[in-house]
Amino acid sequence: MGLCNARDPETHIQKRITKQQRLYSNGDTLIPVSGRDTCIDPDLYESVFDASGDGLVLADRTSTIIRANRRFLRMTRYGQTEVEGVMQWSQITGGGDLAALAVTGTAPAIREMRLQRKDGSFIDAAVTVRTIPDRGLFIVSILDITGKKQVAQALHRRDVILEAISTMAGRFLAAPAWEEEIVRALRSLCTATEVHRVYLFENITDPETGETLMKGRYEWDREGHGGEITTPWLKGLSYQKAGVGEWEIDLRAGKTVFASISDAEETEKQNMEALGVQSVVIVPIHVGGRWWGFIGFDETRQGRHWTEVEIDTLGAAAGIIGSAIHRQETEEAMLAYITESALRLKNPVALLRENIESIYDDIREGSVPKEEILAQIRVQIAAAGQIAENLRELNASIAEGRREIPEAFRIFLRR
């Protein structure tokens, strides 16, 4: 290769490699190639080792790491002196040694493993272990595949959540009241999202100040506990006093809120610490154009990265719940309309009918003068007009209070 020089072997190590043992770097790992006897400058070897795009580790027969390249150190967040000569391979993998992983064939096995970083977090890695038999060494190539694993997991979770949403929608449609199905829906979402707790809050208005308050309604957690929220202080909690005033602004605007304890503001962080929450996603629920409340997803085990795909899917779940609430409110409003209409019309119409029947009898018998009969008819016409006016007023009040009514029908009701 033309890289050897005439330096004294005692002051500058030169490695003599036969054609069976010769190594070169392909950018990923060091593999044997054939060729004539060649001498490699160790400085070049060190440069190639450190410049590799994958993590590279050289370990002895006891699985003690004796050399690690820059990529491996960045990957695991350790310093060089914390690794080389002192760390066992099993310390970052949670057990096992390299001898059990090593292969000597021409097609080394690639194994997926979880490596623990210095800060306690984990990465997913594709690991290949090769032996250097004549020196009793192992060379390990580590490729960080955390991003790919996260994407695959996110897509899987999305599919599971969508399946749960589909089941939810069917049950809400069949239930006479959304409250009858909401706990089961929260349980399904808790399982599908793999979080610790899912909960539903409704907005209420402080009768004295007019401030929007959050009221806990229902919840479910991973341990299988859930139902109606009965904690008194969660029955009328101010967004401002809870330290999440910004949430109120964003949720009202239809934005999903994500918070992680690692980068939360101080007041928000204190609340999360008090609740033992590492990360949280809050999704607004809108009903008939108004902000009704929110559904929340708490993770307590570790910080969690929520992908855009997952958050969009959670938004769909909130939409299903909002639709169920809206449908029930619409049905209740229609029932109230029918009831009020019946009350307003039943007695006046019955009385009008009795009066007209009486006039009819008078005309048939001929016992009442014509002028008196005409006067009675005019009175009943006025009564019928008043009934029609009452009905128009009722229709107008319904039209003004229900935004979902089409404009054409709204105009018809006002006539």
**Domain spans in the chain, listed from the N-terminal domain onward:** 15-144, 149-330, 342-414
Angle made by CA atoms 160, 153, 57, in degrees to the nearest 5? 165
What local confidence, expressed as pLDDT, does residue 107 receive?
Answer: 57
Phi, psi for 133 (deg, rounded to 5): -55, -45
Q: Find out whether 222 and 325 touch, Cβ atoms under 8 Å.
A: no
> Which residue bears the tokens 């005409």?
374
- Radius of gyration of the chain from its Cα atoms, rounded to whole angstroms: 38
Q: What is the pLDDT of residues 274-311, one digit of tens each?
A: 778 888 899 999 998 899 999 999 998 877 778 888 88
Mean pLDDT score across all residues of the chain: 80
pLDDT of residue 406: 55
pLDDT in tens, 191-235: 999 899 999 999 999 988 889 999 999 999 988 888 888 888 888
User: Mind listing the pLDDT tens digit for each residue in 156-176?
Assistant: 888 888 898 989 988 998 888
Of residues 148 and 3, more confidence is placed in 148
- The superfamily in CATH containing domain 15-144 is PAS domain (3.30.450.20)
**pLDDT surpasses 50 at 6:** no
Strands 65-68 and 23-25: unpaired
pLDDT given for residue 292 in this prediction: 96
Quick check: 185 pLDDT over 90? yes
Do domains 15-144 and 149-330 share one topology? The answer is yes
**Residue (of 164, 117, 200, 154) closest to 304 by Cα position:** 154
Task: Identify the residue with better confidence: 376 or 334.
Answer: 376
Is the predicted pLDDT of residue 342 greater than 60, yes or no? yes
Residue carrying the six token digits 């080389």: 84
CA dist 204 → 179, 216, 320 (Å): 17, 10, 21
The residues near 357 (Cβ < 8 Å, ≥ 6 apart) are none
pLDDT tens by residue, 360-369 = 888 888 878 8
Architecture of domain 149-330: 2-Layer Sandwich (3.30)
Cβ 295 vs Cβ 164: under 8 Å? no
Can you tell me the distance from the alpha carbon of 132 to that of 373, in angstroms, rounded to the nearest whole number? 121
Cross-strand pairs, 137: 60, 132
Q: Report, as an integer, the average pLDDT of 112-134.
A: 88
| Closest to 52 measured CA to CA, from 73, 69, 31, 74 | 69
Helices (H), 260-405: 266-275, 308-365, 370-401
Burial class of 18 by CB neighbour count within 10 A (0 to 12, 13 to 18, 19+): exposed
Distance in angstroms (rounded) separating the CA atoms of residues 204 and 210: 9
- Candidate from 26-35, 352-361, 379-388 with smallest mean pLDDT: 26-35
Q: Do 124 and 93 meet the contact criterion of CB atoms below 8 Å apart?
A: no
Answer whether residue 16 shows pLDDT above 60.
no
Identify any residues that bridge with 65 across adjacent strands, giving them in sequence order.
Answer: 59
Cα atoms in the 13 Å half-sphere on the side-chain side of 117: 15
Point out which residues pair with 123 in neighbouring strands.
115
Span 65-81, average pLDDT: 92
Average pLDDT for 69-89 = 92
Instruction: Please say whether the beta carbons of 56 and 142 come within 8 A.
Output: yes
Distance CA 162, CA 333 (A): 31
Sorting pLDDT into bands at 50, 70 and 90, what band is 85?
very high
Instruction: Please state, in angstroms and rounded to a whole number, the distance separating the CA atoms of residues 251 and 130.
Output: 54
185 residue type, one letter: A
Cα–Cα distance, 335 to 360 (Å, whole number): 36
